[in-house]
Amino acid sequence: MREKSIFATSVILAFFVGIIATVAAFYYLPISGKTIQEEVKKVTVTESDTIMSAVDKVYDAVLYVESYDGNKMISTGTGFIYKKDDNFGYLITNHHVIEGANLVQVINTSGEIVEATVLGSDEYADIAVLSVAVDSVLQVAEIGASTDLNLGDTLFTVGSPLGKIYMGTVTKGILSGKDRTVEVDLTNKGSFMMEVLQTDAAINPGNSGGPLCNINGEVIGVNSLKLVKDEIESMGFAIPIELAMATVDRLEKGEEIKRPLLGVELLDLHDYGQLNYYRINVDKSVTHGAVIANVSDDSPAMVADLKQGDVITEIEGTSIKSVAHLRFVLYKYEVGDTIKVKYNRGGKENTKDILLNKSLEDN
C-alpha cells in the first residue's frame, strides 16, 4: 500500500513538473509560431532623418522662373528669395536662366505670376539678381555656410525640373564632394572653370538657380549645372553660397563685375593642331600650363614682355593646368592687383610681376 502511494505521488509530481517545464519553454524559448509572431509585431520602423521641417523653412521662398525674348519663351529655371525690404523682394537665380531675355516672370508657390526686374547678372559666376514686388514674397530663405559641411551630410534641393508642371519638387541626397572644379563653356568667351559643390541629389535643367540646402533648411549653394554624360549618373553641382553672395551686393546695385585683363590669346598645351597652326614648338620639359598664341597691343602682358610661344605655368604659386584653369585663377584677382607669373620660354623658367591695370569689360 505504501509503495502504491509513493508511485501515485511520483506520477502526480512528474505531471506537474512537466506542465511547469512546458509553460516555461513556451514563455522563454522562441519555439512556436505564436511567439515569433508576437516578436515581429513589436518591431517598429521609423525614419529618423525626415527633412520635412527643413523643407518648410525654404519651400515658399522658391519661385519658378520663365524668361522670354519677345513672345518666345527661351529658358526656364528656379530662383529663391534671399532678402526683402519695404518695397521689393530680391531673388537669386543663374545667369544662364535669364540670359538674352527682355522679359522675366516668376511664379510663387501660391500660383501668383509676377514680372521680375533683372538688377544685375554675371556670366562667369553664373549668378543673376532679380527683384519682385514685396507683396508677392511668401517667405525669405535663410543663408547658411557651405564651409561648415562635411562629406556625407544630408542635402536637399527645391526646384522646377522639366518646367512649371513639376515646380516645387524636392530631391534629397548627400554632399558628395567639396572644392570641385568643373569646366564649362561660356557664350563667345571660351572655356572657364567653376568651383562647385558636388551632390547626388537629383538636379535637372529646371533646377538651375534653385537652392541647395543643408539639413537645417539653410541655403548653402546655388544649383548651376549638371554633368550630362551617358556613363555618369547622380552627379549634380552647385555654386557655394559664399561665392554667390560675394557678387550679390554689387549685382543688386546694378554694378558690373569687372575681371582683370591679361591680354593674351591662349592655347592648351596638348592642342597640337592649333600649336602647329601658329607654328609654336613647346619645349619637351614643359608638362603643364597654357601657351600664349598672341599678345594684345598695349596690354599688361605686352608691358611685361610676354611673347608668342611662352607657356604660363604658374600664377602666384598656383600651378596652371589648362586655359580654363588659368582664367579661373586669374579672375580671382581684382583690376589693379599685381600678380607674380611664372612662364617657360624655350625651356627656361622666367618670372615677372604683372600689373593688372585693365579689365575685360573695358577692352
Q: Is 158 exposed, middle or buried (0-12, 13-18, 19+ CB in 10 A)?
A: buried
Mean pLDDT of 239-268: 93
Active site residue 96: yes
Cα 231 from Cα 212, distance rounded (Å): 24
Per-residue pLDDT tens digits for 70-115: 999 999 999 999 999 999 999 999 999 999 999 999 999 999 999 9
Give the H/E segment covering residue 36: helix 33-41
Per-residue pLDDT tens digits for 306-352: 999 999 999 999 999 999 899 989 999 999 999 999 999 999 999 99
Residue of 316, 305, 301 lying closest to 358 (CA atoms):
301
C-alpha distance from residue 6 to each of 1, 17, 88 (Å): 9, 16, 101
Give the strand pairing for 211-214 and 218-226: antiparallel
Q: Of the listed 75, 96, 136, 310, which one is catalytic? A: 96
CATH T-level fold of 264-355: Pdz3 Domain (2.30.42)
Name the CATH superfamily housing domain 52-136: Trypsin-like serine proteases (2.40.10.10)
Active site residue 67: no
**9-47 in b/e burial notation, b at 16+ Cβ within 10 A?**
eeeeeeeeeeeeeeeeeeeeeeeeeeeeeeeeeeeeeee
Task: Check residue 4 and give its pLDDT.
Answer: 46
Q: Of the listed 122, 126, 268, 310, which one is catalytic? A: 126
C-alpha distance from residue 285 to each of 24, 299, 317 (Å): 84, 28, 19
Per-residue pLDDT tens digits for 45-81: 444 568 999 999 999 999 999 999 999 999 999 999 9
- Which residue, chain included where needed, has cell 508657390? 109
Task: Check residue 193 and give its pLDDT.
Answer: 83
8 Å CB contact between 119 and 129: yes
Task: Check residue 131 and give its pLDDT.
Answer: 98
Active site residue 224: no
Give the H/E segment covering residue 128: strand 127-133
Q: Of the listed 208, 224, 299, 322, which one is catalytic? A: 208
Average pLDDT, rounded, for the chain: 86
The CATH architecture one would assign to domain 151-243 is Beta Barrel (2.40)
Q: Is the pTM of this model over 0.75?
A: yes
C-alpha distance from residue 124 to each of 79, 146, 232, 236 (Å): 18, 20, 25, 19
Helix ranges (DSSP H) in 293-351: 300-303, 323-330
